[in-house]
Amino acid sequence: MKFSTRILMTFIVGSSFAILPASVRAAADDIITVDKVMTHDPVMIKEKDTYYLFATGQGISVMSSRDMKNWKFEPSVFSEAPQWAVELIDGYNGHTWAPDVIYHNGLYHLFYSCSAFGKNTSAIGHATTPTLDREDPRFKWTDHGMVIQSVPNRDSWNAIDPNIIIDEKGTPWMTFGSFWDGIKLVRLTDDLNAVAEPQEWYSISRRQRSVSVKSEDAGDGAVEAPFIMKHGEYYYLFVSFDYCCRGLKSDYKVAVGRSKDVRGPYLDRDGKSMEYGGGTIIVKGDKNWAGIGHCAAYKFEGKYYFIAHAYSVKNDGTPMLYVRTIKWTEDGWPIVG
């Protein structure tokens, strides 16, 4: 999600999916149906018979469901803002953006974005827990601090919107990025706590940026929110093009490319590299949704799912949870329907 339009998002998303217009307000028992879940930057994971949804919010917002249709509010991940981020990033107060969640080596790993409005003064943090079930005595989030940081006038990329993928050799990678010089991929240590040495960095998606834009400004190369999933022999890179966080004026859309190597290059259906502006659009706004983006893709119970937020036309541009199944063409391209 683009940092420079977060003021609107902060107002409507609040701390835990809870600041809702009357038309989508939760029932008194705090169980709400999927069509009324307001969210931003959602990701999902399943433990045993329960799905957990994590999203942008104060302390990172959490919901749970047994069926992906009826959702229950859960306490935020952090009751207090991570102190390392408060000290590092001027203006950060615990409102935490664009998480990602993955199960790896016996732990649930949560990655999250801390940033400053309008700058690439940003960092990605990492926390773990043995279980997501709050009734389990083992449940406890342990914060491991910063994984990576971007600094204005030093870095041409923005350290937000993380996503973790474990490749076929068991090597962990983190992709991330928003505007500036686009989407990056970096190899992590086996415990996912840091960038691995020797460092491996790759640029995997870019859009043209005006040469007149100052280096400290985001510019107009509107790509962010990467997510990589493996299907068959290919890795698929999903990214969001254009602009979120503008209500009915949002024009977010999702593009995809694929590669047999997690490091890329990722090519769209026309064979154009995403590193040079390529990307096949698979989801965009329509009469019901002003824009759709910041997606994730999963396989649950034998089915593939596309998860995103979308700006609801009937709810005056409110960002809502958008869940659709994914079908695959004969030549292996995703169709969201």
**Residue 315 has what pLDDT?**
95
Q: Which residues pair with 15 in a beta bridge?
A: none
Q: State pLDDT tens for residues 55-114.
A: 999 999 999 999 999 999 999 999 999 999 999 999 899 999 999 999 999 999 999 999
**Residue 221 has what pLDDT?**
87
3-class DSSP state of 291: strand
- Among candidate residues 256, 224, 263, 227, the one with its CA nearest the CA of residue 332: 256
Amino acid at 304: Y
Q: Does a cis peptide bond (omega within 30 degrees of 0) precede residue 130?
A: no
Residue 253, phi then psi, degrees to nearest 5: -155, 160
Residue 183, phi then psi, degrees to nearest 5: -100, 130
Cα Rg, the chain, nearest whole Å: 18
Tell me how far CA of residue 58 lies from CA of 98, 122, 198, in angstroms: 11, 16, 35
Residue 12, phi then psi, degrees to nearest 5: -90, -25
**Residue 29 has what pLDDT?**
54
- Tell how far CA 90 is from the center of its chain: 23
**Residue 191 has what pLDDT?**
97
In this structure, what is the dihedral angle of CA atoms 31, 319, 149, 86, given to the nearest 10 degrees?
-60
Break the chain into its structural domains and give their ranges.
Answer: 3-336
Which tokens in the block code for residue 51? 């799905």
CATH of 3-336 among 2.115.10.20, 3.20.20.70, 3.40.50.2000, 2.40.50.100? 2.115.10.20
Integer Cα distance of 324 and 337 in angstroms: 6
3-class DSSP state of 34: helix
Q: What is the pTM of this model?
A: 0.92
b/e code 40-64 from CB counts within 10 Å (16+ = b): bbbbbbeeeeebbbbbbbbbbbbbb
Q: DSSP 3-state helix, strand, coil percentages of the chain (rounded to 5)?
A: 10, 45, 45
Which single residue is written with the structure tokens 């999702």? 254
**Residue 23 has what pLDDT?**
41
Are the C-beta atoms of residues 239 and 223 closer than 8 Å to each other? Answer: yes
Cβ count near 107 (within 10 Å): 16
| Nearest-5° Cα angle at 226, 305 to 167 | 80
Which tokens in the block code for residue 176? 């991330």
The catalytic residue positions are 41, 224
- Segment holding 10, helix H or strand E: helix 6-13
3-class DSSP state of 274: helix
3-class DSSP state of 53: strand
Tens place of pLDDT for every residue, the chain, 337 residues?
543 343 344 334 443 344 444 444 444 457 899 999 999 999 999 999 999 999 999 999 999 999 999 999 999 999 999 999 999 999 899 999 999 999 999 999 999 999 987 789 999 999 999 999 999 999 999 999 999 999 998 999 999 999 999 999 999 999 999 998 999 999 999 999 999 999 999 999 999 888 677 777 778 889 999 999 999 999 999 999 999 999 999 999 999 999 999 999 999 999 999 999 999 999 999 999 999 999 999 999 999 999 999 999 999 999 999 999 999 999 999 999 8
Residue 6, phi then psi, degrees to nearest 5: -80, -15
b/e code 150-170 from CB counts within 10 Å (16+ = b): bebeebebbbbbbbbbbeeee
